[in-house]
Amino acid sequence: MLLCVRMRFTNHKMLSNNISESAVVASVNALLSAYSGNSGASIAEVRNIITHSQTDFLSRSKELDVWLGKNEEFEELADILFDLLMVQFLSAELHEEDYFDSPEWNEIENKTLDKGSEMLNLFLYLSESRETEVEVTLDDFLHEFLLVGEDEFQDEYRIYESLITNEDLLEVELPAVREAAKSVKADTGLQEYFVPLVMFFQHAEGVNESDLLPEGLDKFEKAILSALIAYNEF
């Protein structure tokens, strides 16, 4: 699944170093703080791993694995932490398009196929939207970034079908979103992220005008939503 996610990156000319490292740091801070209330040493350790650009990507990925092994209470966040590591790596230096055919990139793909989540797509979309000054909306994410309406992107359509066919979810409250989440296919990799993803676009599009997170979110959902909002708003 993640091979497809990463290869989509090359379809969007996002190979620049203008993405703010500060946005990644803000997202990490929000993620861990919302999940555990811990705003101290754990956040600093993860932040240092993710932003240590003098260390190669695979070494940092291993360091993150080691950290998670020592801090098992955060294991549920492993995939999104990897996503943020990937975003930081892609934004830290200018990667020409042919980099994604290089032996280095192929090694990264082959050794991390089981890591990360579909939220990488969203972080990359938010990065591109910031650079191009495009308003963040669910419709733009699905149809202009993921290109779900085009024949060659039917894998994307399958993964995000639950959102494509239920765009009215932006107008409903949390219980209805939870009900819709039950129909998300487990093999899409979207099921556990569905609720915070919908809540994020409600927030981004101004449907939920409150600065407070919706009541009733569990700690994982709250952490993911907080990370997305922090990244988008930094």
206: left (phi over 0), alpha (psi -120 to 50) or beta: left
Q: What distance, in Å, lies between the first and last C-alpha atoms of the chain?
A: 29
- Between CA 194 and CA 160 the distance in angstroms is 10
Q: What is the per-residue pLDDT across 75-90, written as a single tens digit (0 to 9) for each? A: 999 999 999 999 998 8
Query: Residue with structure tokens 């091979």?
Result: 3
Q: Are 96 and 105 in contact (CB under 8 A)?
A: no
Q: What is the per-residue pLDDT across 115-174, written as a single tens digit (0 to 9) for each? A: 999 999 999 999 889 888 999 999 999 999 999 888 777 888 999 999 998 878 999 999
Number of H helices, E strands in the chain: 12, 0
The phi, psi pair for 96, rounded to 5°, reads -70, 160
The per-residue pLDDT for 6 is 46
Confidence of residue 105 (pLDDT cuts 50, 70, 90): confident
Q: What is the per-residue pLDDT across 128-144, written as a single tens digit (0 to 9) for each? A: 898 889 999 999 999 99
In this structure, what DSSP letter does residue 146 have? S
Q: Are 84 and 24 in contact (CB under 8 A)?
A: yes
- Between CA 137 and CA 129 the distance in angstroms is 10
Q: How many CA atoms lie within 13 A of 67 on its CB side?
A: 21
The pLDDT mean for the chain works out to: 86
Q: What is the pTM of this model?
A: 0.90
Q: Are 196 and 230 in contact (CB under 8 A)?
A: no
Residues 6+ apart with CB under 8 A from 65: none
The per-residue pLDDT for 3 is 43
**SS3 at position 207:** coil
Residues 210-228, mean pLDDT to the nearest whole number: 90
Residues 6+ apart with CB under 8 A from 85: 49, 50, 57, 60, 61, 64
Q: What is the per-residue pLDDT across 176-218, written as a single tens digit (0 to 9) for each? A: 999 999 999 989 999 999 999 999 999 999 887 667 788 899 9
Give the angle 206-227-47 at the CA atoms, nearest 5°: 150
Comparing CA positions, the residue from 202, 198, 189, 204 lying closest to residue 221 is 198
Query: Residue with structure tokens 């996002």?
Result: 14
**SS3 at position 171:** helix
